[in-house]
Structure 1
Amino acid sequence: MASIIINKASAEDLETIQSLGIQTFTETFAESNSEEAMKTYLEKSFNTEKVQSELNNPDSYFYIGWEEDIPVGYLKLNSGPAQTELQDETALEIERIYVKKSHHGQKVGQLLYDQALETAKNLNKSYLWLGVWEKNLRAIKFYEKNGFEVFGNHTFRLGDDEQTDLMMMKILK
Structure 2
Amino acid sequence: MEKFLIKECTLKDIESIKSIGKKTFYETFAKDNTKEDMEKYLKESFSYEQVKSEIENKNSIFFIVKDNDEVAGYMKINFEGAQTEPDHNNSLEVQRIYILEKYKRKYIGEKLIQKAIEIAKDNNLDYVWLGVWEININAIKFYEKQGFKKFGTHIFIVGEDEQIDNLMKLKL
TM-score, structure 1 length as denominator?
A: 0.96
Q: Which runs of 5+ in 2 are unaligned?
A: none
For residue 7 of structure 1, give the secondary structure of its aligned residue in structure 2: strand
Letter in structure 1 aligned against 2:88:
D
Report the Cα distance in structure 2 between the residues aligned to 1:42 and 1:87, rounded to whole angstroms.
28
State whether residues 6 and 63 of structure 1, in contact with CA within 8 Å, keep that contact through their aligned partners in structure 2: yes
Report the Cα distance in structure 2 between the residues aligned to 1:16 and 1:109, rounded to whole angstroms.
18
State whether residues 5 and 67 of structure 1, in contact with CA within 8 Å, keep that contact through their aligned partners in structure 2: yes
85-94 or 27-36, which deviates more: 85-94
Letter in structure 1 aligned against 2:39:
K
Instruction: Give the drift of 1:99.
Output: 0.2
For residue 64 of structure 1, give the secondary structure of its aligned residue in structure 2: strand
Q: Deviations over 1:10-68 (max 9, x none)?
A: 11100000101000000000000000000000011010111000001110011111111
Count how many residue pairs are aligned between Structure 1 and Structure 2.
Answer: 172
Instruction: Give the drift of 1:157.
Output: 1.5
Report the Cα distance in structure 1 between the residues aligned to 2:118 and 2:12, rounded to whole angstroms.
23
Q: Which runs of 5+ in 1 are unaligned?
A: none
Letter in structure 2 aligned against 1:45:
S
Instruction: Give the drift of 1:86.
Output: 2.7
Identity across the alignment (%) = 45
Letter in structure 1 aligned against 2:127:
Y
Partner of 1:16: 16
For residue 50 of structure 1, give the secondary structure of its aligned residue in structure 2: helix
Letter in structure 1 aligned against 2:150:
V
Letter in structure 1 aligned against 2:65:
G
Partner of 2:44: 44
Partner of 1:85: 85
CA RMSD of aligned residues (A): 1.1
Letter in structure 1 aligned against 2:116:
A
Partner of 1:114: 114
Hey, which bits of structure 1, 4+ residues long, moved more than 4 A?
A: none
Instruction: Give the drift of 1:112.
Output: 1.1
Instruction: Give the drift of 1:159.
Output: 2.1
Letter in structure 2 aligned against 1:99:
I
Partner of 2:168: 168
Partner of 2:134: 134
2:3 matches 1:3: yes
Partner of 1:98: 98
For residue 131 of structure 2, give the secondary structure of its aligned residue in structure 1: strand
Letter in structure 2 aligned against 1:48:
Y
Instruction: Give the drift of 1:87.
Output: 4.6
Q: Deviations over 1:110-155 (max 9, x none)?
A: 1111111111112221100111000111110110001100001111
Partner of 1:53: 53
State whether residues 2 and 68 of structure 1, in contact with CA within 8 Å, keep that contact through their aligned partners in structure 2: no
